[in-house]
Amino acid sequence: MALTLLSTTLYLVLTLSPSLLSSASQETNFLDQKPTAYEILGDYNFPKGLLPKGVVGYSLDITTGRFSAFLNGSCSFSLEGSYQLRYKSSVSGYISKGKLSRLEGVSVKVFFMWVDIIEVLRNGDDLEFSVGIAGAGFPIDNFEECPQCGCGLKCGGDKRKVSKIRSNPFVSSS
């Protein structure tokens, strides 16, 4: 009788263990999933469209705010047919609620030269971009969607436009 009870218990443990371990493993994987770089932007009160589609990874030191986002390669596109943006394969800086500072890896073409965007501030429903001595502001709604390398927001017939709130952005100091 004891042998039968022992063998039945052993049989149940051996047949149920893999399914129990499998479901426990799935729960652990679900809980351990790292948020995306786009979700991290949202955690700091920024829209996901500050980064182009195709971010393959990122790092974030939550104690210092130091972050890096990684693309498959460099990326460039135009918005409105006039703003040309360029992202290096690695974009880095410091992030805090409503502020991206000491940015590296993102530039905008102003007249005939490329200048680095060094800071982005959230000011209510606007984002203010600084290139140092000059800046420009845009409604946050313009950044709800992520631009795509090569075609920006006008990919596949999408006619969405980015609206300006200043007539001469990046020309005079704010």
Shared-domain flag, residues 85 and 29: no
Q: Taking 80 as the threshold, does the pLDDT of residue 70 lie above it?
A: yes
Shared-domain flag, residues 65 and 101: yes
pLDDT digits (tens, 9 = 90+) for 51-67: 999 999 999 999 999 99
Output the domain CATH number for residue 96: 2.30.240.10
Shared-domain flag, residues 21 and 48: no
Q: Taking 60 as the threshold, does the pLDDT of residue 8 lie above it?
A: no
Confidence label for 87 from pLDDT (cuts 50, 70 and 90): very high
Higher pLDDT, 142 or 38: 38
Structural domain count, the chain: 2
Domain housing 17: 1-33
The pLDDT score that the predictor gives to residue 108 is: 92
* Element counts in the chain: helices (H) and strands (E): 2, 9
pLDDT digits (tens, 9 = 90+) for 116-172: 999 999 999 999 999 988 888 989 988 898 989 888 887 875 444 444 434 345 444
Give φ, ψ of 79 to 5 degrees.
-115, 135
Please state the rounded mean pLDDT for residues 86-110.
95
Shared-domain flag, residues 4 and 80: no
Shared-domain flag, residues 67 and 2: no
Q: Taking 50 as the threshold, does the pLDDT of residue 40 lie above it?
A: yes
Shared-domain flag, residues 83 and 13: no
